[in-house]
Amino acid sequence: MISTSRELGYQVIQWDVDSLDYKDYGADSIIKLVTSKVKNGSIVLFHNNATYTKDALPVIIENLQSQGYKIVPISELIYKENYFIDHTGKQKELK
């Protein structure tokens, strides 16, 4: 799948923090999960049709920014050349 996606010109990415927002546990659950797992370079998975994401997201963003995190587009986080994807789905730079 990765090879085919690349051949078609798509950039393959993987998240490292799953908000589990689709499980509808509530906004507080999403907030706690995401803010406890985010680290530098994290990519967080949210779903656009989850019930509580719209309530949790502003709190998460404010919380992370107050800790010094910067919200950036995916294009600023991923390697586009000279990398490999390890067994966990994370990009690693080839050195």
Q: With a cut of 80, say whether residue 4 has pLDDT above it.
A: yes
pTM: 0.81
| pLDDT for position 26 | 97
CA distances from 24 to 43, 69, 87 (A): 20, 26, 29
Instruction: Tell me what the pLDDT averaged over the chain comes to.
Output: 91
Of 89, 86, 21, 82, the residue nearest 54 (C-alpha): 21
Looking at per-residue confidence, does 18 or 80 come out higher? Answer: 18
Where do the domains of the chain lie, and which CATH numbers do they carry? 13-93 (3.20.20.370)
Alpha helices in 1-95, H assignment, sequence order = 2-7, 27-37, 53-66
Report d(CA 54, CA 68) in Å as an integer. 22
Dmax (CA) for the chain in angstroms is 43
pLDDT single digits (tens) 53-93: 999 999 999 999 999 999 999 888 888 889 888 887 778 88
Residues in the chain: 95
| pLDDT for position 87 | 82
> How many other β-carbons are positioned within 10 Å of the β-carbon of residue 90?
14
